[in-house]
Amino acid sequence: MEGEGFRAGVADNAPAGATATNVTILTASRQKPAVRLLAQQFGGKVAYADAVADDRPGIDVVVGDEFQSVDVEADNFLVLRERAVSTTCKNKTTATP
């Protein structure tokens, strides 16, 4: 995945209680753009589990014994659509005698 622009992480044993058949992404939110982008990089079913809160950068991925593949055809970008939000502020001035 480094060849597609992803940074290398640390290879380590899965956190206690974390399991995977193919791939499990540990995250607090499946909707975060970085999580969505990462999930589309894998072939087969991607599962999700609650992440253990820590201050390390990156996203934890647990690869299981039945890991299928990295999808070499997957895009390495997302197109994000945000709602336009318009805010108007008016300064209120008060004259003092």
Q: Are 20 and 62 in contact (CB under 8 A)?
A: yes
| Least confident among 36-50, 61-75, 80-94 | 80-94
Judged against a pLDDT cut of 60, whether residue 88 lies above it is answered with no
Find the radius of gyration of the CA atoms of the chain.
Answer: 20
Instruction: Say what the pLDDT of residue 26 is.
Output: 92
The secondary structure of the chain in percent helix, strand, coil, rounded to multiples of 5, reads 10, 15, 75
Beta bridge partners of 63: 23
pTM over 0.75: no
Query: Domain-by-domain residue ranges, the chain?
Result: 2-6+18-70
